[in-house]
Structure 1
Amino acid sequence: MRRHNYKKLQIWNEAMDLIDENYLFTSTLPDYEKYGLRTQMNRCAVSIASNISEGSSKRTNKHFIKYLEDSLGSAYELETQLTVCFRQKFISDEIYLSLENKIQKLQSKISNFIDRLESNQ
């Protein structure tokens, strides 16, 4: 297996864009969430891209897939935290729907990439 250049992967680039948008949103959270949701959401968003890049260094698709699955888990965790923000009325409907849509599209793309790698083993 040849190693993937993570900077050329669409899922990594979209994850990086999601980090930017997430940081913009979390900066608006109440001060009492500075070490709660804000920190958790930022760590999750960074984890999505970080696991993609770390996994791309692995020698086999089997090992890369493990990191992609971790990335996918972080994307689902971020979606849950976003939903908490929505239910607590920390976010407008418009921003919530936009971020949720981007997260769900990224989840789908990561899942599809995993499926393609698994079919090539």
Structure 2
Amino acid sequence: MTFTDLEVWKESRILVKMVYDCVQFFPKEEMYGLQSQIKRSVISIPSNIAEGCGRSHIKDTMQFLYIARGSAAFELETQLYLSLDELY
């Protein structure tokens, strides 16, 4: 089994697509600000899952999964709240 078989990795790819679809409607002045930061955050989720699965020690794998969770549950969520505050 590889990381591409993991449901969490598959779902995170769907999340990337959803976020990219949403941020395309941000004002042009946010292209290199909040929009860019949101894209980096969401991309880091499946990337860290994949990288963690490539590690040979479970402790290393878990560290990357914690990073992915932090990107999803805290960093991205905060940025989405900030964009709501800023844009609406």
TM bucket by the smaller chain? over 0.9
* Structure 1 unmatched ranges of 5 or more: 91-121
* Offset of residue 89 of structure 1: 3.3
Aligned to 1:116: none
* Offset of residue 88 of structure 1: 2.1
Find the aligned partners of 2:78 and 2:23 in 1 and give their Cα distance. Answer: 14
* Offset of residue 11 of structure 1: 0.7
Q: Which residues of 2 match residues 35-114 of structure 1 at below 5 A?
A: 35-75=32-72, 76-90=74-88
Find the aligned partners of 1:27 and 1:40 in 2 and give their Cα distance. Answer: 13
Q: What per-residue deviation string (whole Å, max 9, x for no partner) do you get for residues 1-38 of structure 1?
A: xxx51111111011000000000001110101000011
* Structure 2 unmatched ranges of 5 or more: none
Find the aligned partners of 2:45 and 2:27 in 1 and give their Cα distance. Answer: 24
Q: What per-residue deviation string (whole Å, max 9, x for no partner) do you get for residues 39-61 of structure 1?
A: 00001000000000011011121
Amino acid at match of 1:74: S
Q: Percent identity?
A: 34
Greater C-alpha Rg:
1
- When normalised by structure 2's length, the TM-score is 0.93
- When normalised by structure 1's length, the TM-score is 0.69
Find the aligned partners of 1:8 and 1:20 in 2 and give their Cα distance. Answer: 18
Q: Which aligned segments of 4 or more residues in structure 1 are displaced greater than 3 angstroms?
A: none
